A and B are shown apart, each in its own frame.
Chain A
Amino acid sequence: EADIYQTPRYLVIGTGKKITLECSQTMGHDKMYWYQQDPGMELHLIHYSYGVNSTEKGDLSSESTVSRIRTEHFPLTLESARPSHTSQYLCASYSPNTEAFFGQGTRLTVV
């Protein structure tokens, strides 16, 4: 079992609300990623970080923001949720020269 955790697993929230999706890993990995994935569809990289105080936008434009104040923590924030943000959000961390580890995902529904 990979030591990477996402909370909450499921979230239903109203339009305009601010939300933060949590992602934590206890493996000491520097590289962490956020992907957006509609159910059964491909992964889209929306943010990544190569270490503390390092954050970059990914290939898919996203209205979310991220921060990396501690190595183990990489939260994603939506300032004002919209129905178009309804999706699954996957967090991952990477162990150099081995593999990427994924969290269980957060399934977000904005109503």
Chain B
Amino acid sequence: AQTVTQSQPEMSVQEAETVTLSCTYDTSESDYYLFWYKQPPSRQMILVIRQEAYKQQNATENRFSVNFQKAAKSFSLKISDSQLGDAAMYFCAYHRTGQNFVFGPGTRLSVLP
């Protein structure tokens, strides 16, 4: 069965600095999708960024980018120019067509003013 590991239960970053959240996953498949979701306190879970495994190019969305290392099964999220509104739980997720999502345990990110 696929598993997703986030080895950092908590992280903190100074406002305007850069932080990287780690995620590793285990799969024997070659075609799948990876996601980072953000859950602010008492607010809705929203998609931050998405990566198709067949694409070698790392996905980027404004201040958010990923470092996708398929052979190493690693999918880290980099947040540049961190803002107070980035404070949230971040969940890494794996999905393969026809299967359910597999979520990691989450990383709580604090942004320090």
Interface residues of A (CB under 8 A from B): 2, 33, 40-43, 45, 48, 58, 90, 92, 94, 96-100, 102-105
Residues of A within 8 A of B108 (CB): 40
Residues of A within 8 A of B91 (CB): 42-43
- Answer whether A42 and B100 are a contact pair too, CB < 8 Å, given A99-B35, A102-B45, A104-B43: no
B87 within 8 A of A: no
Question: Can you name the residue of chain B whose Cβ is closest to the Cβ of A102?
Answer: B45
Interface residues of B (CB under 8 A from A): 33, 35, 37, 43-47, 50, 89, 91, 93, 95, 97, 100-101, 103-106, 108
Do A99 and B50 touch across chains, with their CB atoms under 8 A apart?
yes
Residues of B within 8 A of A41 (CB): 105-106
* Distance of A48 Cα from B102 Cα, bound (Å): 13
Residues of B within 8 A of A98 (CB): 50
